[in-house]
Amino acid sequence: MELYIRKVRPEDLDRVTEVESLCFPEAEAATRESFAYRISAFPDSFYVGEVDGVIVALVNGCCTNKPFICDELYEPDGGHDPNGENQTIFGLATHPDFQRQGIAEQMMNHIIGVARAAGRKRMVLTCKDKLIHYYEKFGYENKGVSESVHGGVVWYDMVMEL
Domain limits, the chain: 4-161
The CATH label, of 3.40.50.620, 3.40.630.30, 3.30.420.40, 1.10.3720.10, for the domain at 4-161 is 3.40.630.30
Length of the chain: 162
Under 8 Å between Cβ of 120 and 63: yes
**Full pLDDT tens readout for the chain, 162 residues:** 899 999 999 999 999 999 999 999 999 999 999 999 999 999 999 999 999 999 999 999 999 988 888 766 766 666 788 899 999 999 999 999 999 999 999 999 999 999 999 999 999 999 999 999 999 999 999 999 998 888 888 999 999 999
Separation of alpha carbons 115 and 63, rounded Å: 9
- According to DSSP H, which parts of the chain are helical? 13-23, 32-41, 103-117, 132-136
CA distances for 45 relative to 81, 86, 110, 130, angstroms: 11, 11, 10, 25
Return the pLDDT at 78: 67
Separation of alpha carbons 152 and 162, rounded Å: 30
Return the pLDDT at 37: 92
Tell me the pTM.
0.94
Q: DSSP 3-state assignment of 26? A: coil
DSSP state of 31: P
